[in-house]
Amino acid sequence: MEKTWRWFGKKDKISLAMLRQIGVEGIVTALHDIPNGEVWTLEAIEDLKHYIDSFGLRWSVVESLPVCEAIKYAGPERKQLIENYKVSLANLGKAGIKTVCYNFMPVIDWIRTDLQHLWADGSSSLYFDKMRFAYFDCRILQREEAEKDYTSEELEQVSALDKTITEAEKEVLIDTIIVKTQGFVNGNIKEGDKNPVNIFKSLLALYKDIDRDALRENMRYFLTAIMPVCEEYDVNMCVHPDDPPFQMLGLPRIVTCEEDIDWFLKAVDNPHNGLTFCAGSLSAGEHNDTRKLAEKFAKRTHFVHLRSTQAMPGGNFIESSHLEGRGHLTDLIRIFEKENPGLPMRVDHGRMMLGDEDKGYNPGYSFHGRMLALAQVEGMMAVVKDELEKGLI
């Protein structure tokens, strides 16, 4: 597999010079300064590409070329937005960047409730606490009928929390769920936006009439429209699974499990329509078996996120070490190296450790934690390479 690293552009506190020293080969990035929906010009793409090249690295994968909400809910601007998307894809193809990761999650990209969940050893990782999320949903958003999505036990815990939670803690919860985890991935809400809860509510309202089937149709429409450009420029699209892979906030989520993945691959049955195999997102759902999914979908996988989670009773999950959890990363490397060798892989997320806390890195994107994870994954890759050479697998 190609060792890649997500880098957030020239403003990233982690420089390309640092990445060269730790064995990174390919860069995963985006034109983060271009507002969602606008065209990525060939000039801007080539400018960043040359900068990356000048460090002896290559721009391997785009993550993400964002799909605007109006494409997902089929708003009147959809046609123009898809035309712009096609021009950006063609420009990427012309510049030789052929793998494009995106997602089709309405309103919110990934969801966590805690950015610094402490481990016994003093490091910390991201965490999802179902009860705190339920609190946000029922008491802060006050979403209509939200209570129906939770058990009576969970709702009792929500009431208990309501008696002790401070205003400051509520602010942190809001900031974590809809601001800090979203802005830097070109999400809908950015740091500094006034009244994020209201913005969020109006975004949710856009999906009032969009159910699972409607969202699927909108995904099919989008993929069908862009496939001719992908064919012409040999660009591979790879959708990121929903993170976490279950229904939330009354929004439809359509990339959560085997049946979902099967559906979109068949709906637009073109090799350029593929998957970002995010082992972290998929493993957070107890219904998913990452090894089985990798066996089944390796050939239509264009990009791999190696990360692992531990799902816990009651719907909580923690981002575990890359050596543990439900990701089974060594087995995944075995499967991908056999079925679809050389795929770009990035270690996804990492713990915060050894001073990462003070550096202001984006949540999940620490330096030391990810460097440790990369070293662990390199070890796994070396074992698999040896097994392949000896004909053991």
89 touching ligand DNO, by CB under 6 A: no
Query: Among this protein's residues, is 287 annotated catalytic?
Result: no
101 touching ligand DNO, by CB under 6 A: yes
185 touching ligand DNO, by CB under 6 A: yes
Structure tokens belonging to residue 130: 């179902």
Min separation Cβ 281 and ligand DNO, Å:
7
Q: Which amino acid is at 392?
A: L
Query: Among this protein's residues, is 365 annotated catalytic?
Result: yes
From the list 17-25, 99-107, 132-140, 204-212, the region that binds ligand DNO by CB under 6 A is: 99-107
Backbone angles phi, psi at 6, to 5 degrees: -80, 125
Q: 146 vs 280, which CB is nearer to ligand DNO?
A: 280
Neighbours of 39 (CB within 10 A): 15
63 touching ligand DNO, by CB under 6 A: yes
Among 270, 265, 245, smallest CA distance to 255 is for 245
Burial 88-104 (b: 16+ CB within 10 A, else e): bbbbbbebebbbbbbbb
128 touching ligand DNO, by CB under 6 A: no
Check 12, 114, 129, 240 and give the catalytic one.
240
Min separation Cβ 364 and ligand DNO, Å:
5
Residues in 212-241 that interact with ligand DNO by CB under 6 A: 240
Task: Using CB under 6 A, count the residues that bind ligand DNO.
Answer: 11
Q: 186 vs 340, which CB is nearer to ligand DNO?
A: 186
From the list 48-56, 101-109, 282-290, 385-393, the region that binds ligand DNO by CB under 6 A is: 101-109
From the list 51-59, 98-106, 117-125, 288-296, the region that binds ligand DNO by CB under 6 A is: 98-106
64 touching ligand DNO, by CB under 6 A: yes
Cβ contacts of 327 within 8 Å, gap of 6 or more:
279, 280, 283, 290, 306, 307, 308, 309, 320
Query: Among this protein's residues, is 162 annotated catalytic?
Result: no
From the list 7-15, 100-108, 113-121, 255-263, the region that binds ligand DNO by CB under 6 A is: 100-108
Min separation Cβ 105 and ligand DNO, Å:
7
Among 371, 365, 369, smallest CA distance to 355 is for 369
Check 302, 305, 322, 328 and give the catalytic one.
305
For β-strands 124-128 and 301-306, DSSP reports them as unpaired
**Percentages of the chain per state (helix, strand, coil), in multiples of 5:** 45, 15, 40
Query: Which class for 6: exposed (0-12), middle (13-18), buried (19 or more C-beta within 10 A)?
Result: buried
Query: Among this protein's residues, is 238 annotated catalytic?
Result: no
Query: Among this protein's residues, is 117 annotated catalytic?
Result: no
Give the dihedral of Cα atoms 92, 93, 95, 100; nearest 10 deg.
50
Is 39 strand, coil or helix?
coil
Residues in 326-365 that interact with ligand DNO by CB under 6 A: 348, 364
What does the binding site for ligand DNO look like in residue numbers (CB under 6 A)? 63-64, 101-103, 109-110, 185, 240, 348, 364
